[in-house]
Amino acid sequence: MKNIVSILVMIGMTLAAQSEDIVLRKSNGDVFVRHGVTETWTKVAIGDVLKPDDTMKTGKRGSALLVVNGSKRMTLPAEVIVDVSDIRNLSQEELMLKLTMQKVRSSSYEWKNDQMNVPNAAVVHGADRTPPVPLTENGLEIGRLEWNGTKVLFDNGYYSTSALKSMDVLRRYPSLGDKFENRLLVAQALEKANLRGEALSEYVSISQSEKLTAGQRETVAERIAQLRKQSGE
């Protein structure tokens, strides 16, 4: 048990890293920000400097242009929710620690001989997960907006945080995992984040679905073959 506590303490200390310097340059329509753990969304203003504990949300006709570190431009399209802390690149060590923390927080871990046995990505949000508590329509809408945010992270090259966030969203809103495109995004993000073992597990999990079309099954089979070749299997 002491080993487990030590791991969690180390993870908590490492996760203290700050987000990038992010400024709102333009906005159209409904664009909101939520500070910290508050549940209140407020209108943003041009020139606002976003903090790591802020969360951005755009409405049906909303969009925003963010400038990261004074040069990189990132567009938030309509109907997304993005945590500002996710707009950053992670080192491989940070990524592995965050992934471990996420799995510990999930309900899928097991304890064996005072050691932590953490399941792979597919188990965290795959077919064997515990049935979730039914969600309200509003809750499902929030999940959809958060999922759209993971795609924004992926499209802007934040593969590490996209992988982590997508896994977390599918864990909390399992019905979103019924779409092939959503599960595929998780696997692709893991692969691009250089977590090839996790990506391979996710592709294999996807391939076991009986609902795949011939084209989808071929796409997944190609990625599995490529990853196994790279790992020398």
Is pLDDT above 50 for 110?
no
Q: Identify the pLDDT of residue 37.
A: 84
Report residue 127 as tokens. 């077919």
Task: Indicate the pTM of the whole model.
Answer: 0.79
pLDDT tens digit sequence for 205-227: 999 999 999 999 999 999 999 99
| Domain termination residue (choose one: 85, 103, 133) | 85
> Residue 4 — pLDDT band, cuts 50, 70, 90?
very low
Number of structural domains, the chain? Answer: 2
> Residue 6 — pLDDT band, cuts 50, 70, 90?
low
Q: Identify the pLDDT of residue 108.
A: 47
Residues 74 and 98 in one domain: no
| Domain termination residue (choose one: 85, 105, 121) | 85
> Residue 182 — pLDDT band, cuts 50, 70, 90?
very high
Closest CA to 80 of 139, 141, 157, 19: 141
Q: Is 24 helix (H, G, I), strand (E, B) or coil?
A: strand
3-7, 41-45, 61-65, 200-204: least confident range: 3-7
How far is the C-alpha of 81 from the C-alpha of 141, rounded, in Å? 11
Residues 8 and 110 in one domain: yes
Residues 212 and 142 in one domain: yes
Residues 11 and 29 in one domain: no
Residues 132 and 49 in one domain: no
pLDDT tens digit sequence for 131-179: 443 556 567 899 999 999 999 999 999 999 999 999 999 999 999 999 9
Report residue 112 as tokens. 């064996």
Q: Is 49 exposed, middle or buried (0-12, 13-18, 19+ CB in 10 A)?
A: exposed
Residues 31 and 79 in one domain: yes
Closest CA to 63 of 91, 27, 11, 98: 27
Can you name the residues that pair with 112 across neighbouring β-strands? 115
Residues 44 and 4 in one domain: no
Mean pLDDT rounded to a whole number for the chain? 83
| Domain termination residue (choose one: 85, 108, 135) | 85
- What CATH number should be reported for the domain holding residue 157? 1.25.40
Domain that holds residue 177: 1-17+88-233
Residues 208 and 98 in one domain: yes
Closest CA to 158 of 102, 90, 93: 90
